[in-house]
């Protein structure tokens, strides 16, 4: 059941980006044979995400909160400097031993700062759009929770009006039922829920390559840059023949990224 909007003024909103140091990301989800290339790929993901956030902020005000390892703080601020029109970016350090503990700490800490609406995302859903972000915060005017399911069974976005650890009770993190388990907990707590479109996370070489083949995103810089990185390695011999025709590969080969 939807709840009435109780805000007498505009709510204070936060978009929480839950990520890790690029070196850890490279080890956890290595998207290239080279660790350094994996780092460059994740930095490109971050730049893309900041671009999406900037576009959404032009339609609806919210603040950016990054949750990551202490060593990643400089990387994040350096990436944010590319977009000088962005409001100040806040930073929270990871705390906890498991993924579940860390994400709960991130949400609880963000609400304790004084935000009324919080949406948390990762850095690996390249199909996220400004419209999805603004729609999330619009839904949180009348709904208590918003969930964006991922095709692998996880979620790419979770929006809340308040933190409650019971939302995550018995959730088997990094499994194929995370989204369903959180949805079930929301139902048991009798919270209202809005569901977003199901999107794909990038978890592997194959995921990234398929995304590059199929994406309709207008961010041509991201596509060209990622293709350029992948084509510098043995990616062609390992992955291209079963998936892509030679003509398409040849077209990719000469589509280099724009000057830095």
* Percentage of the chain exceeding pLDDT 70: 82
Range(s) of the domain holding residue 109: 13-195
116: domain CATH number? 3.90.550.10
Q: What is the pLDDT of residue 243?
A: 45
pTM for the predicted model, two decimal places: 0.84
Is pLDDT above 90 for 118? yes
Contact indicator for 199, 151 with CB cutoff of 8 Å: yes
Residues 183 and 227 in one domain: no
Q: Measure the CA–CA gap between 230 and 82, rounded to whole angstroms.
A: 23
Q: Is residue 179 helix, strand or coil?
A: helix
Model confidence band, residue 237 (pLDDT cutoffs 50, 70, 90): very low
Model confidence band, residue 258 (pLDDT cutoffs 50, 70, 90): very low
Residues 234 and 126 in one domain: no
Residues 119 and 246 in one domain: no
Q: Measure the CA–CA gap between 58 and 60, rounded to whole angstroms.
A: 6
Average pLDDT over residues 100-118: 97
Model confidence band, residue 73 (pLDDT cutoffs 50, 70, 90): confident
State how many domains the chain has.
2
Contact indicator for 128, 157 with CB cutoff of 8 Å: yes
Task: List, for residues 75-100, the tens digit of each pLDDT value.
Answer: 787 778 777 777 778 999 999 999 99
Is 200 a member of any domain? no
Is 3 a member of any domain? no
Model confidence band, residue 35 (pLDDT cutoffs 50, 70, 90): confident
Q: Measure the CA–CA gap between 60 and 67, rounded to whole angstroms.
A: 22
CA 179 to chain CA mean position, Å = 15
Among the three residues 146, 172, 195, which one is the final residue of a domain in this structure?
195
């Amino acid at each position: 059941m939807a709840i009435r909007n109780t805000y007498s003024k505009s709510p204070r909103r936060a978009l929480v980006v839950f990520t890790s140091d690029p070196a850890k990301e490279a080890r956890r989800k290595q998207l290239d044979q080279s660790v350094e290339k994996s780092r460059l790929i994740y930095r490109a993901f971050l730049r893309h995400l900041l671009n999406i956030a900037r576009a959404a902020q032009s339609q609806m005000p919210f603040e950016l909160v990054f949750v990551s390892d202490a060593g990643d703080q400089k990387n994040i601020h350096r990436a944010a400097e590319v977009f000088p029109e962005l409001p100040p970016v806040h930073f929270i350090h990871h705390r906890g031993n498991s993924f579940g503990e860390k994400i709960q700490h991130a949400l609880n800490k963000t609400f304790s700062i004084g935000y009324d609406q919080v949406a948390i995302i990762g850095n690996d859903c390249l199909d996220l759009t400004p419209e999805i972000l603004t729609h999330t915060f619009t839904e949180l005017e009348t709904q208590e929770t918003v969930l964006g399911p991922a095709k692998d069974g996880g979620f790419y976005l979770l929006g809340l009006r308040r933190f409650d650890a019971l939302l995550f009770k018995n959730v088997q993190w990094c499994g194929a039922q995370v989204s369903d388990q959180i949805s079930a907990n929301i139902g048991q707590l009798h919270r209202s829920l809005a569901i977003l479109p199901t999107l794909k996370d990038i978890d592997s070489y194959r995921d990234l390559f398929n995304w590059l083949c199929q994406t309709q995103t207008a961010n041509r810089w991201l596509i060209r840059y990622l293709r350029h990185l992948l084509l510098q390695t043995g990616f062609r011999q390992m992955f291209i023949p079963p998936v892509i025709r030679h003509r398409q590969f040849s077209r990719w080969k000469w589509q280099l990224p724009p000057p830095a």
